[in-house]
Amino acid sequence: MSSLDITVLPSADEVAATVVAELIDLISERSSAGSDVHISLTGGTVGNHIARALLSDETVRNCRSLHLWWSDERYVPVGHEDRNDLVLQDLLEGCLAKVHAVPGPDTTETVEASARAYANELHLATTTRFCATNTLMDVCVLGMGPDGHVASLFPGSATLAMTDGVVAVSNSPKPPPVRVTWTYPTINASEQVWLVVTGASKAAAAEQLQAGALIEEIPAAGVHGKQITRLILDADAYTA
Q: Identify the bridge partners of residue 7 per DSSP, sorted by sequence position.
A: 232
Q: Which amino acid is at 107?
A: T
The predicted pLDDT at position 138 comes to 98
pLDDT class for 1, splitting at 50, 70, 90?
very low
The answer to whether residues 160 and 153 touch, using CB atoms and an 8 Å cutoff, is yes
Alpha carbons 159 and 137: distance in angstroms, whole number: 21
What is the per-residue pLDDT across 44-92, written as a single tens digit (0 to 9) for each?
A: 999 999 999 999 999 999 999 999 999 999 999 999 999 999 999 999 9
The predicted pLDDT at position 220 comes to 98
What is the per-residue pLDDT across 220-240, written as a single tens digit (0 to 9) for each?
A: 999 999 999 999 999 999 987
Has residue 2 got a pLDDT over 80?
A: no
In the chain, the percentage of residues whose pLDDT exceeds 90 is 98
Q: Tell me the H-state helices in the chain.
A: 12-32, 45-56, 58-61, 111-133, 184-187, 203-210
Measure Cα distances from 1 to 184, 188, 209 in Å.
13, 9, 15
Alpha carbons 104 and 107: distance in angstroms, whole number: 6
What is the per-residue pLDDT across 100-117, written as a single tens digit (0 to 9) for each?
A: 999 999 999 999 999 999
For the sheet with 4-9, list strands across it: 4-9, 228-234, 192-197, 139-143, 37-41, 66-70, 98-99
Alpha carbons 46 and 41: distance in angstroms, whole number: 11
Q: Mean pLDDT throughout 169-185?
A: 97
pLDDT class for 3, splitting at 50, 70, 90?
confident
